[in-house]
A = this chain, B = another copy of it.
Amino acid sequence: MSVGRSAPPQRTLPVLADVARLSGVSEITVSRVIRNKGPISAKTRERVLHAVAETGYVPNRLAGALASADSMLVGVVLPSVTNIVFADVLRGIHEALAPSGYQPVVGVTGYDADEEERVVRSLLAWQPAAIILAGFEHTDGTRRMLAASRIRVAEIMDIDATPIDVAVGLSHRSAGRDIARYLLSRGYRRFGYVGHDWDSDHRARLRFEGLVDELSAQGLGVVAERRIAGPSSTLAGRETLAGLLATGERPDVVVFSNDDMAVGGYFHCLAAGLEPRRDVGLFGFNGLEIGAALPLRLSTVRSNRFLIGKLAAEALVARPDRPDDTAIINTGYEIEAGETA
């Protein structure tokens, strides 16, 4: 049991010394057995593992990480955990890290760059081996900390800018272009757009810009457009499409900033007696499961969120030191034809 300086009266958990005493070897040998590092005789290993079980010893990662200068932690900084997009990313991160011994530590920024700086500072205090950030938009303070720390950095979701270290995601600008091309090939000519706050979702803006670029190249444009100031949601999508169609403009297809909004648009059509595709095409982004469960499967782009999280985490732990040059891992996207456009 740990005794020493007059710490507050608290739990007396077994430490290495207790296991060492019981198994008749030194602390460092016990440590070697537990970490499975270096040569250990089978006999010693058995005695130590028996003593571990008997004492109920749990390693102290604080001490181990401090002594070894390797916390085995990976910081994960996400705008939101309730947005299924990032929840899928987090699932990919967890799955990639589970066999590696690395542990994710999650901070939430609420889509705010100043909050991201605070979260990053707080996470860096834990000396993580790596950190995962969403997007490329950071404060100068955040950038300075990341530069000073020299740890691996993955910027995820987007690959349309130069990363600090490695970027993992898809080109949202290209996705916007491909959406336009695809819908044009389906015969649509009058485009509407329903979106949400671009300040917090830069990637939605990039997709819109790609869409507009491609339409422009074909001598077309967006005939009706409406964006809300807040976050995306199904209800917001429903209401915003209602508002857009109430203007009298008659787009033959409406591109939504994401699937949440598009599902809401679908609900508006149900309530307004419009049939998706026959009366107006609906097109989302992300390829969420709920879109596939609709009576008419939502037409959308599948972004590989799980894969983004998984590949980002794998890239970081595969090489602990930061390379001199930057890298981009393109997880791509797929048009999901569906039945609404």
Interface positions of A (Cβ within 8 A of B): 7-8, 10-11, 13, 56, 58-63, 65-66, 69, 71, 80-82, 84, 87-88, 90-91, 94, 103-108, 121-122, 124-127, 144-145, 148-151, 233-235, 237-238, 263-264, 267, 270-271, 289-290, 292-295, 321
Give the docked Cα–Cα distance between A293 and B267 (Å): 7
Is B238 a contact partner of A264 (Cβ separation < 8 A)? no
Is A58 a contact partner of B263 (Cβ separation < 8 A)? no
Give the docked Cα–Cα distance between A94 and B82 (Å): 12
Is A58 a contact partner of B124 (Cβ separation < 8 A)? yes
25 pairs across A/B with beta carbons < 8 Å? A7-B69, A10-B150, A11-B150, A11-B151, A56-B145, A56-B148, A58-B125, A58-B149, A60-B127, A61-B125, A61-B126, A62-B66, A81-B87, A82-B84, A82-B87, A82-B91, A84-B87, A103-B107, A106-B106, A235-B289, A235-B292, A238-B293, A263-B290, A267-B293, A271-B295
Contacts A11-B149, A13-B148, A122-B103 given; does A81 touch B66 at CB 8 Å: no
Give the docked Cα–Cα distance between A233 and B288 (Å): 12
- Please name all residues of chain B whose beta carbon is closer than 8 Å to the beta carbon of A321 when the two chains form the complex: 10
Contacts A69-B8, A81-B90, A290-B290 given; does A62 touch B126 at CB 8 Å: yes
Residue of B nearest to A234 (CB): B293
Contacts A8-B69, A104-B106 given; does A58 touch B13 at CB 8 Å: no
- Please name all residues of chain B whose beta carbon is closer than 8 Å to the beta carbon of A150 when the two chains form the complex: 10-11
CB distance from A16 to the nearest CB of B (A): 13
- Please name all residues of chain B whose beta carbon is closer than 8 Å to the beta carbon of A56 when the two chains form the complex: 144-145, 148
Copies of the polypeptide in the assembly: 2
Contacts A11-B150, A127-B60, A148-B13 given; does A94 touch B69 at CB 8 Å: no
CB distance from A55 to the nearest CB of B (A): 10
Residue of B nearest to A271 (CB): B295
Contacts A58-B125, A69-B10, A81-B91 given; does A270 touch B290 at CB 8 Å: no
Kindly identify which residue among B62, B80, B81, B91 contacts A71, using a CB–CB cutoff of 8 Å.
B62
Is A233 a contact partner of B293 (Cβ separation < 8 A)? yes
Is B238 a contact partner of A267 (Cβ separation < 8 A)? no
Give the docked Cα–Cα distance between A106 and B97 (Å): 12
- Please name all residues of chain B whose beta carbon is closer than 8 Å to the beta carbon of A270 when the two chains form the complex: 270, 295
- Please name all residues of chain B whose beta carbon is closer than 8 Å to the beta carbon of A71 when the two chains form the complex: 62
Q: A61-B127, A106-B106 are in contact. List 12 more A-B contacts (CB 8 A).
A: A7-B69, A8-B69, A11-B148, A56-B145, A60-B66, A60-B127, A61-B125, A63-B66, A82-B87, A103-B105, A234-B290, A235-B292
- Please name all residues of chain B whose beta carbon is closer than 8 Å to the beta carbon of A234 when the two chains form the complex: 289-290, 293
Give the docked Cα–Cα distance between A125 and B102 (Å): 13
Give the docked Cα–Cα distance between A157 and B38 (Å): 45
